[in-house]
Each structure stands twice: as structure tokens, then as C-alpha cells.
Chain A
Amino acid sequence: EDQVTQSPEALRLQEGESSSLNCSYTVSGLRGLFWYRQDPGKGPEFLFTLYSAGEEKEKERLKATLTKKESFLHITAPKPEDSATYLCAVQALEDTGRRALTFGSGTRLQVQP
């Protein structure tokens, strides 16, 4: 069974204090790993898709990296508006036709001014 574990569960940073969020996964053949951002009372918002080990994607202060066992979401010089829950999800090759994603429980990030 596919599994996604995110750590830490919660993270509090000062504005400008860089850090990384971890997503460890086990899947029977990875088709893609996805990062989403979720604000309170809203649905998840897509950030990145990574398809193969060594791949990196960047968007503003966020950078996602992928290895064969885990992904990191690096946050450089965060601002209070980066506060949200960050969700990681995987799609197995065998699930490609069914489009199913397996999500982790997320990391709640709070950035204080």
C-alpha cells in the first residue's frame, strides 16, 4: 500500500528563517510526487509536480526536490503569507489510469513577523 509521511507535523519560523519540510514515501513505482498548499477553510492549491529523482522545481521562496525515498520543500526567507499547511501526495504508476493520489497529513507552517 502506498504511504506518505510528512514531518514535522507543525513548524513555527520567524520571518526570514529558512527551513525545510520533509515528505517520505513508499510507493510501488512512482509516477509523480505533488506538493500542495492548503489555507484554513480552503481547498488545497497546487504547487509542484516532481517526476524523477534529482528533479527540482522552484516558485518564489519555495523549492521542491526529490530523491528515490523522499522529497523536501525548502522555504527560503519565509514571509508571514507563507503560513499554511503544506501537503505532499504521490501517484503510483499503477494508479495512472485511475488518477488516484495518496496524501500525507501535512505540515502546518506558521511564520511569525
Chain B
Amino acid sequence: DAGVIQSPRHEVTEMGQEVTLRCKPISGHDYLFWYRQTMMRGLELLIYFNNNVPIDDSGMPEDRFSAKMPNASFSTLKIQPSEPRDSAVYFCASRGNRGWEAFFGQGTRLTVV
């Protein structure tokens, strides 16, 4: 298995633009998680899905952030409009329904200028 795949690896965008981050979980995994890593706040959970259904989005910072999982093999995290304080590394992770171990993608480094 190729592991969790995220794209793009790096994204630089101007303030006010829409940004879409993408994630392909490990095949067969039922849970998908979106995390954000910053120096100030460390690794924080934004939202997670089980069987494509959002379960807990309490970590989503504000309405500018939205996430979808249209099918078992794809999820997006969208920021519209983006702001400089959204600059961070965004990680996607997945795990199976029977095993508790989570696996992370390589992350997307987002810079909003």
C-alpha cells in the first residue's frame, strides 16, 4: 500500500484566495482525520470522518474552513477565503475500523501571503 497520500505537498497562495487540500486514505480504512500543525498550537485535530460521515468538527477554526469526504478514497479540506494565519502544515491520517493505529500522510505545507 502506498500509504496516505496528500496533495499538493506545498501551496503558496495570496490572502483571500480559495485553497483546497486533498487526501487519499489507505485503502480499507474507515476513519479519516485532518490535523493542522503550527509552532504555537502544535498538532491539533480539525475534523474526522467515519465511513465518509463527519463525526467531530469541533476543531475547525471557523466557517472559512470546510471538509468533505465524497467517497471512501478521497477527502478535501477547503479554506475560503484564506488568511495569513492559516499558514501551517496540514496532515491527513487514516486508520481501520478494527485497528486503532493511525497512519499519517506527508502533509501539505500551506503559506498564505
Do A and B belong to a common assembly?
A: no
Q: Which residues of B contact A (CB under 8 A)?
A: none
